[in-house]
Amino acid sequence: MATRIDELEARRHQARLGGGDKRIEAQHSKGRLTARERLTVLLDKGSFEEYDMFVEHNCSEFGMETQKFPGDGVVTGSGTINGRLVYVFAQDFTVFGGSLSERHASKICKIMDMAMKVGAPVIGLNDSGGARIQEGVASLAGYAEVFQRNVLASGVIPQISVIMGPCAGGAVYSPAMTDFIFMVKDSSYMFVTGPDVVKTVTNEVVTQEELGGAVTHTTKSGVADVAFENDIDALLATRDFFDFLPLSNRHPLPDRPCSDPWDRIEESLDTLIPDSAAKPYDMHELIRKTVDEGDFFEIQPNHAANIIIGFGRIEGRPVGIVANQPMVLAGVLDIASSKKAARFVRFCDAFDIPIITFVDVPGFLPGVAQEHNGIIKNGAKLLFAYAEATVPKITVITRKAYGGAYDVMSSKHLRGDLNYAWPSAEIAVMGAKGAVEIIFRKDIGDPEKIAARTAEYEQRFANPFVAASMGFIDEVIMPHSTRRRIALGLRKLRDKQLENPWKKHDNIPL
């Protein structure tokens, strides 16, 4: 028996070495942790239970039968984050560059299947050169098996991808179908085709970082959600982020003890809105003064910054927050911001996370580029997302809510449960100047008449009371009591029941 135990320990030691000391040193020299080191940071100490440590590839082409490593380039298993179950896989770049083989894929599929059975999130740490070329179509089949599970798990268990190295070709599509993607600056890349192929096909010269680096994908493309400075930052942030999510769509929301009074009054919010409607203010201030202890985890902060999305807590329970940002493009809705917010709203709805919406929106962004690139269909994505959502929805209009954008931003007409407005709210078809120039077109040549008409329009419509008189606003509230009203509202809505008509699935305007 002692001999067998010694053999087990020797085999385990060999598996933990991955591709060997030299390749581990090469990984460290790039500022990257190894797959196992990453899992040590991500998971609670001593909680990781590994599966399939001794699995090897089954390829015999191109001399591969002589090159075998236990684990075959991916570490899989389960553990806990702050005591809550999670399934994980971490690709090991020291073994065949983390490339995906048939057996490598089957290991990932196994933990995804287990996560679905018990109802627990999956976190993937991606660091892979792509499909293992020596295996040909078998590796492509492995990717497709993973893709199928991503789709079936969508909306059932949270899926998080942390890109910690290269992620190219077919490898990018699995992260793309997960709920959130985090990246590491100057270290991780995502692209369907790399710089060399781009140069050959289109004659464009571009670096890896410019083509698919963390900054590119968190600012321009919106493919990724947040870019972190290094592996440690990314993994610790993932731990924090995990605490906002339920284990599955069958589990309750996590509940954290909170010492922040639910009825805390924030007098400073009474002066947040500037005297001039043309002056911006930072919506982050309102968000942080409303949520528990100012703790707000923002998603995609550098992409489509005219809308803010992210998670906070009220009375210790997670909420999703969507807010127009007057500091960027005056908070207008455009193609990028509509898509960004729509996907977030649908995630919250899938996992029963209440949605808080702060509204200061002058309308949709006009322009030829917006129209030609589909602002109609893309704006409809956000409208569709809010309209189909059955979770508790609380809306607070702080200033402007003009035109169709008023409707889209979780209005009472899209089954908003509680719709509040501050006294500074202006709810109308459009701003006073534009409205007067249309209604009183014949008086445009008379500045005095136009000024008088504008003042009259502002007095009659640039306020929340017309909408309140029609029941479209439940109450005009004082800004300083915003947290208290939201907390009370969420208490009342905790047992809300609302179901959409039966359907196989909807047909959101993609």
Query: Which active-site residues does the annotation give?
Result: 169-170, 404-405
Residue type at 366?
A: P
From 68, 148, 62, select the one nearest 105 (Cα to Cα): 148
From its phi and psi, is residue 316 left (phi > 0), alpha (psi between -120 and 50) or beta? Answer: left
> 259 with 62: CB under 8 angstroms?
no
From its phi and psi, is residue 399 left (phi > 0), alpha (psi between -120 and 50) or beta? Answer: alpha
The DSSP H or E segment spanning 404 is helix 403-408
- Tokens, residue 336: 């990028």
Whole-angstrom Cα distance, residue 171 to residue 29? 24
Whole-angstrom Cα distance, residue 207 to residue 104? 29
From 217, 161, 159, select the one nearest 186 (Cα to Cα): 217
| Coil/strand/helix, residue 84 | strand
Residue with tokens 């202006």: 426
Beta bridge partners, 181, equal 161
- What is the DSSP annotation of 103-171? HHHHHHHHHHHHHHHHT--EEEEEEE-SB-GGGTHHHHHHHHHHHHHHHHHTTTS-EEEEEEEEEEGGG
Please, which residues have CB within 8 angstroms of residue 169's CB and are 6 or more apart in sequence? 130, 131, 192, 193
Residue with tokens 């490898």: 171
Whole-angstrom Cα distance, residue 357 to residue 331? 13
Whole-angstrom Cα distance, residue 181 to residue 218? 9
Please return the burial class of 88, using the count of CB atoms within 10 Å of its CB with bins 0-12, 13-18 and 19+.
buried
